[in-house]
Structure 1
Amino acid sequence: MASFLFFLAGGQLCKAQDANWINWATDPVQQTADWTSFADKVERKKYLDSLSQSFQNLGYLSLFLEKEEISTDSLIVRLILGEKYGWESISPGNVPEEFFRNISPVTAEYTSAARWMREVISKAENNGFPFAQVKLDSILRKGNFLSAVFRYDSGPLILWDSLKVAGDTKTQERYVQNITGIRPGLPFSQKQLDVASEVLARSAYFVQTEPPRLDFQVKKAQPTFTLRDRNTNVLDGVIGLLPNENEPGKMLITGQLDVELYHLGGKGRDVALHWKRLNIATQSLDISAKESFLFNSPLDVSVGFSLLKQDSTFLNRHLSLDFGYHLSQTSYLRFFTRRQSSDVLDTEAYDAMTELPDVADYRWNQYGVGWSWDRRDSPFFSRRGFLLSSEFALGNKRILENTGFPPEVYENLDLSSPQYLGMMDIEKHIYIKPTWGMWLKGSGGFTQNQNLLLNDLFRLGGLKSIRGFNENYFFAKSYGYLSMEQRLFFGENSFLMVFADFGILENPYFAASIDKPVSFGAGINLDTGTGNFRFIYGVGKSNLQPLQFSYSRIHFGYLARF
């Protein structure tokens, strides 16, 4: 044991001797520092240079260093400060007014002049002058106070040239131009280039494999973005054949099919189809298509159709048309119209009704607006960032008289009335350590009408909302829920997690109209390179489900991408 401790101590000593140490103090004494180690002498010199610059920025212009090397790896430094200087007056000289209009004026502090020059240079390089220079001229000294004039040299005006796309990608240069806003003929902007890198990092279609390369020639700046396409397309499904109990001798097709094709032609063009039929009575279908940057404008257009057949109760259909506008690289505005139709399938149970039942035939034309703000660092399994999305829609709903219902259910009923709805989602990703993060999501929504029906209500529950319950388990007139996850990453997109969901729902057709579901559980998300596997075990409690492990739910699936 003694030998082991000696060996360990010796190892630590050898490690310490590889370092380069420094101890410094100012003269006169204002600040001191204990011994600090650096990996090598180069790093130690960088530290000293930075230290000297910081004191010079405070006005100690005559500062110099006295060094005493007490061994080959240890250095004692005295910073002889000397006189401290400040500004008596300083003139903007020939600096263009638009570059310093909103900058705080220079005060007596010496640092304010350096800050002022940095801000002017920043404004110049964001307005087409990346080679601009500002220096002090005509410097005069009166005691410990200085006066001077700023001299500005703009350099040549640089305009954007057409950008280039390199790497293993089908992305067209025009698409990158549209999402970054970098257009030929506009003034060069360093800030615009920096923001472009952030925008490309948030793309669901590709990843940026290298920092942007910038080439200057003949008063033009040509950026080159090196990209690699993500595996985003989806083709997955299960098809089953079962005997059709309603039609003997015939087969019933059941199963699930998911087809998602993204970024077709490298233009941000998407199409998707989702079909699900798990039994004879219930099935759903969703079809959508999106065209980005229509005619190279900031306008997107998308169309969608969805169908939900809820056993033998009702059939819902939605037809939508959306127009989206890119307000900025992070802000997106939508205007949309939807046609929502619902028909009751089996009316025998309502023969004796004297009032309108909880389901009815209706047609609802909606007109709405949506807005989203995306500041996440990645579209998939972000580590940092914030996402806000919302929408509001209103329109006139018209209830149709079903001949299978008794006529008296429609007496004294306003068959046409306004209906509106609103929804909002807030998502926050918190970075704690490279292997540890948190995900928080808050979601809420409401719908209102004087003749609100069961087939009008929101459907919640399952993997994408309140876990620990079956898919679409809840009907809600209004809802709000909070989801929290602790994530332990063991790969770029692979992690273990524990979660908890808390919700409050209102369903006017249940005896206890207010429900407060709670769920918790754990799971794993595994990135296989060619797809994504997710397994989540959860247990929940609500008015209709007790908190028992016999009611626990397993949500799992594998999404193959290519």
Structure 2
Amino acid sequence: MKQATTLFLLLNIYTCWFLGINAQELTLSVKTEKPISQNLIDSLQIPKTFQNFSEIERETDTISLKLQRMGFIESEFLQINKKNDSSYVAAFYLGRKYNEIKIYYSKKNFTRTELQRISNNITNSYFTVNFEAITSSLNKLTAIRNQKGNAFARLRLTGFQIEDNNLLSASLFVDNKEIRTVDSIIVKGYEQFPVSYLKHYAGIKKGKVFDKAKLLKQNDNLNNLGFVSSTKSPEALFRKDSTTVYFYLEKQNNNLFDGILGFATDEKTQKLNFNGFLNLELNNNLNYGEQILINYKADGEEQVSFRTKLTLPYLFQSPFGLSGELKIFKRDSTFITSEQQVRTTYQINPKSATYIGYKSYDSSNLLDEAIAGNPVEDFKSKFFTAGASYITTQNKKLFPIKSRFSFEGGIGNRKKNNINEDQIGIEAIISNIFNLNFKNSIFIQNATNILISDSYLTNELFRFGGINSIRGFNENSIDASFFSIINTEYRYQFNEEVFVHSIIDLGYFENQTLTLKQNLYSFGFGLGINTNTGLFKLNIANGNTENQEFNFSNTKIHISVSSKF
């Protein structure tokens, strides 16, 4: 029994000693025929420790490959020397380092403009790149060939040699393969998706050259529609004589209900007034991409507006669309104005559209007697309009539109007391988001409207002010024959669901009926939270006119919740 116990202890001691030896961590250093800098050693990124000798051998192969890519094409691994029980030294011959390479090319494969993406030194027969940039440069050139339909194009360097000036050179070999075009498009998951959006909105068309990178961008465009989302990236099936592209889409509820509640102090009575609006959008319920809009606004001073709009895009799967709109505005017992509008839209490309339309106004004076300085009269007017828009999107749920430009010009006339008067109307909006990084961005927007006429009526002027124009002022509280507003926001996004922003709005307007010219400004801050019920927004802004002292009672608080269903 005693002998067995002794043997058991000896076996345990031997096992622990054996495992300890094998568990000992090993280190590796590099030795060359000439001194090397610490920067070069750091760039090799050699692990600090190894578990066994096999890992060291594999690392020497990796080091050899890294040295080749750095420009030491003459480098050679010599041997591994054991320094002590846990340290090894790998001996390499480096040779000369080549910092750049001259690459000969054919003009039939790449133009000088295309080569400028990777090189600053280009001639009619060759270009040069930094040696360490060879891999990334070949990847970029391969992508260029892919964009031209060579989905299986392969590039490599051949014929390496050292020229008389000791400059390394090589020839660019391009295996273009067969040019591929999109022969068919199939939507999976949402078979009733309005295919017109593939062709005219996203720009995905049969017969176009197959470009994988472009298809991914077009897929992102579809995600920005709102009523559809991509479940995974598009895929392509390559057959011998055809190419089929598959899009994986899922229908999303995109009906929108908005409500805004505002609080403001009446400057005369110092009482608390309520104002706000309700907005209903019904989108793509018939799987046609159609939109029905109903909007109602009211404030605490008997100002009421109503708007309804129907949009039918891509009629008969063509780039032409049709929309009709009705607006009614009533200001207490002063006047009521109705506006009717119809447009025919043409989608030029996924980002740009143009339209022509007809717009008419019919306004009635509700006053029993005229008020001095307030020219309100019955009138009718009509305008023939034309406009264009340009919109770019980005893959951000809270801010999907990166930049926008829209312009509309109208020529018409106003009939008052059987007298016709020619008029011109111009409306323009331009905005952009400058993304500093993922969390920080700056939003800037300018809106400008002008009515050119020999005379003006109060009930035909533009009306602005409020959360959708210049914040810190009551909704549609300012009348103008000309106005220009700049809205700015510095936005900080905590994550995909929460953001805060500053409010700095500047404005200028003219009212020809009152011979008034005035500057406006407002300051404040806002908060946005994307909840399960919708997007919650809180804006607090204080608006003031030129030469007016700051007054806290001018502060407006706007709360909105946009719910999708």
> Which bin holds the TM-score, normalised by the shorter protein?
0.7 to 0.9
Secondary structure, in 3 states, of the residue corresponding to 1:163? strand
Letter in structure 1 aligned against 2:203: G
Distance 1:142 1:471, change over 3 A: closer
> Secondary structure, in 3 states, of the residue corresponding to 2:512?
coil
Relative distance call for 1:292 and 1:62 in structure 2 (3 A) is farther
| Partner of residue 537, structure 2 | 534
Instruction: Give yes or no for contact 1:261–1:270 (8 Å, CA) kept in 2.
Output: yes
Partner of 2:6: none
| Secondary structure of residue in 2 paired with 1:348 | coil
Do residues 344 (structure 1) and 365 (structure 2) align? yes
Q: 1:411-422 alignment to 2 at 5 Å?
A: 415-422=420-427
What amino acid sits opposite 1:80 in the alignment? L
Moved more, 341-350 or 229-238: 229-238
Matched ranges for 1:201-216 at <5 A: 201-216=223-238
State how far apart, in whole Å, the 2-side matches of 1:499 and 1:459 are: 21
The 8 Å contact of residues 523 and 541 in structure 2, kept in 1 or not, is answered as yes
The AA in structure 2 aligned to 1:455 is N
Contact 2:307 2:325 in 1 (8 A): yes
Task: Write the letter of the residue equivalent to 1:62.
Answer: E
Which whole-Å CA distance do the structure 1 matches of 2:466 and 2:226 have between them? 24
- Which residue in 2 is equivalent to 1:496? 500
1:319 aligns with one of 328, 340, 354:
340
Structure 1 residue 521 displacement after superposition: 1.9
Is residue 2:433 matched to residue 1:428?
A: yes
Hey, what does 1:265 align to over in structure 2?
Answer: 286
Q: How far apart, in 2, do the equivalents of 1:72 and 1:327 lie?
A: 70
Displacement of 1:347 in angstroms is 4.5
Which residue does 2:404 correspond to in 1? 388
Asked if the contact 2:259–2:560 (Cα under 8 Å) also holds between the matched residues in 1, the reply is: no
Counterparts in 2 of 1:294-305, with a 5 A limit? 294-305=315-326
1:532 to partner: Cα distance: 2.1
- SS of 2:233's equivalent in the other structure is coil
Could you list the per-position Cα deviations for residues 351-400 of structure 1 after superposition, in whole angstroms to 9, with x for gaps in the alignment?
Answer: xx7xx9622333332233333332331575328x7413221312122232
Tell me if structure 1 keeps the 8 A contact 2:386–2:410.
no
Q: Find the counterpart in structure 2 of residue 367 from structure 1.
A: 384
Q: TM-score, normalised by structure 2?
A: 0.75
Query: Which residue pairs with 1:245 in the alignment?
Result: none
Deviates more, 1:29-38 or 1:306-315: 29-38
Partner of 1:405: none
Contact preservation (8 Å) 1:376, 1:386: yes
Task: Point out the more displaced range, 107-116 or 211-220.
Answer: 107-116
Q: 2 CA distance for matches of 1:321 and 1:24?
A: 80
**After the TM superposition, which residues 140-539 of structure 1 pair with which residues of structure 2 at under 5 Å, given as runs?**
143=164, 144=166, 151-167=173-189, 171-235=193-257, 257-277=278-298, 281-349=302-370, 358-378=375-395, 381-382=398-399, 386-401=402-417, 415-432=420-437, 434-510=438-514, 513-539=516-542
* 2:267 counterpart residue number: none
SS at match of 2:184: coil
Give secondary structure in 2 for the equivalent of 1:182.
Answer: coil
How far 1:47 sits from its partner (Å)? 9.4
Looking at structure 1, the residues matched to 243 and 528 of structure 2 have their Cα atoms a distance apart, in angstroms, of: 43
Whether contact under 8 Å (1:368, 1:391) holds in the other structure is: no
Which of 39, 46, 52 is the matching residue for 1:32? 39
Whichever residue aligns with residue 107 of structure 1, its letter is: Y
Assess, with a 3 A threshold, how the Cα gap between structure 1 residues 38 and 430 changes in structure 2: closer, same or farther. farther
Note closer, same or farther for the CA distance 1:294–1:25 as it changes in structure 2 (3 Å cut).
Answer: farther
Which of 546, 551, 554 is residue 554 of structure 2 equivalent to?
551
Deviation by residue 1:180-200 (Cα, 9 ceiling, x = unmatched): 222233331234313313322
Q: CA deviation at 1:152?
A: 4.2
CA apart distance, 1:327: 2.5
Deviation of the 1:130 alpha carbon: 0.8
CA distance in 2 between counterparts of 1:73 and 1:516 reads 77
Give the C-alpha shift of residue 141 in structure 1.
Answer: 6.2
AA at the equivalent of 1:32: N
Q: Aligned letter for 2:94?
A: I
- SS of residue matched to 1:176: helix
CA contact (8 A) 1:501 1:520 kept: yes
Q: How far is 1:555 from its partner?
A: 0.8
The aligned counterpart of 1:62 is: 74
RMSD (Å), alpha carbons: 4.3
In the alignment, the residues of structure 2 paired with residue 397 and residue 379 of structure 1 have an alpha-carbon distance, to the nearest angstrom, of: 43
* CA shift for structure 1 position 508: 2.6
Tell me, in whole angstroms, the C-alpha distance in 1 between the residues paired with 2:348 and 2:325. 23
> Could you say what secondary structure the match of 1:211 adopts?
strand
Does the CA-based 8 Å contact 2:440-2:490 persist in structure 1? yes
Deviation at 1:255, TM superposition (A): 9.6
Distance 1:372 1:492 in 2: 28
TM-score by length of 1: 0.75
Once the two structures are superposed, residues 129-177 of structure 1 have per-residue CA deviations (whole angstroms, 9 ceiling, x without a partner) of: 2112345566776544677765543323322133233347863445334
Q: Which has the higher contact order (CA 8 A, sep 6+)?
A: 2
> CA 1:190–1:255 in 2, change beyond 3 Å: closer, same or farther?
closer
| Structure-1 separation of matches of 2:505 and 2:33 | 57
Aligned length: 505
CA–CA distance in 1 between the matches of 2:379 and 2:145? 60
- Counterpart Cα distance in 1 of 2:398 and 2:474: 24
Cα distance between partner residues in 2 of 1:180 and 1:530: 29
**Mean Cα displacement is larger for which, 23-32 or 119-128?**
23-32
Q: Which amino acid aligns with 1:202?
A: N
Q: Equivalent residue of 2:506, what SS? A: strand
Any idea what SS the aligned residue of 1:516 has? strand
Counterpart-to-counterpart distance in 2, 1:46 and 1:343: 88
Letter aligned with residue 178 of structure 1: H
Cα shift at 1:537: 2.0
Residues 117 and 416 (structure 1), Cα distance of their counterparts in 2 relative to 1, 3 Å cut:
same
Distance 1:67 1:192, change over 3 A: farther
